[in-house]
Chain A
């Protein structure tokens, strides 16, 4: 899932200070699971900003809302009237949610309350770790199910490097060496011969280069005729 972290309160308070009517919109998907922008976090931020405004004698209105998935227009549409009735939308979703609202209502100001961080998994309660960088060309079937791009500090395709020591990385001794983990996993799977195969340079054209990546599934797209039909129904 997408893991995000709330910006420091002081930074958020400064961002919203000039605006009278502020709608704080959370999301019940990834950011709710990583405890950054769900129902409770929205409530907390609304209360905190109200206290700040009170403390500084500013008249501001804060309202908290939570939508099912802020990155999907259909869900955002449900709170359209509230968005229109605001001076500022403070998004407590990942950047995708904030940008979705921004694209739908380009005249409206949409500010982010979160810093969107990683594609991560929960390791234990309150701890999320990065396991994918979305390079667009997955190779974990050859690396024992462990991604060296995300988990190796040098994103090496042929490892481990000389900096691996006792299963730790030279970059930071707190960090596990991804290639040591790959070696151990392949040994467990009796596929250790894979580590000796030299991987050629990776095709990075599927990664973040050449502008925004757009994925299309043709059979799921609506034809012009179908789109017209939907418009007619609306």
Chain B
């Protein structure tokens, strides 16, 4: 039986986060194929319900990738994004679920090296922790 592939969902802002991913691909860098990218207009648009929904629907780990904090296209969007990620992390910790399943990252569009790094890190977390559901069921 083939090894279960970890499921990582990345909410990437279309201004810098997604550009970093595109640049990584264009510059020939490889990253784990287990990531599913969700394009969002701004990391501040991601709220706790989106992250929790992704986990509920079977993601093992979720990350939000926004612009660098003092260089956000919408000024404070990535600060908002970080606050929501922190909220979800504390909610998970409260419930006895590993909070490291959810992380916030920042990158500029020129940081091609950062995206593969983030994906590798989150895929490792996903592999190490496995599915949230007891017994390994995805849903």
Interface residues of A (CB under 8 A from B): 8-10, 13, 40, 43-44, 47-48, 50-52, 54-57
Contact = CB atoms under 8 A, between A and B. Distances in A.
B52 A54 contact: no
Nearest to A40: B49
A48 B134 contact: no
Interface string B123-137: 000000000111101
Contacts of A50: 56
B96 interface: yes
Interface in B61-92: 91-92
Given A9-B94, A47-B52, A51-B52, 14 more contacts: A8-B94, A10-B95, A40-B47, A40-B48, A44-B52, A47-B49, A47-B56, A51-B92, A51-B132, A52-B97, A54-B137, A55-B95, A55-B96, A57-B135
A55 B91 contact: no
Contact of B53 (A13, A47, A57): A47
B55 interface: yes
Contacts of A57: 133-135
A51 B55 CA distance: 8
A55 B97 contact: yes
Contacts of B137: 54
Contacts of A43: 49
Interface of B: 47-49, 52-53, 55-56, 91-92, 94-97, 132-135, 137
29 contacts: A9-B94, A10-B94, A10-B95, A13-B95, A40-B48, A40-B49, A43-B49, A44-B48, A44-B52, A44-B91, A47-B49, A47-B53, A48-B52, A48-B91, A48-B95, A50-B56, A51-B56, A51-B132, A52-B95, A52-B97, A54-B133, A54-B134, A54-B137, A55-B95, A55-B97, A55-B132, A55-B133, A56-B134, A57-B135
A7 B75 CA distance: 33
A26 B100 CA distance: 29
Nearest to B131: A54
Contacts of B53: 47
Contacts of A10: 94-96
A51 B49 CA distance: 12
B95 A51 contact: yes
Contacts of A52: 95-97
Contacts of A47: 49, 52-53, 55-56
Contacts of B132: 51, 54-55
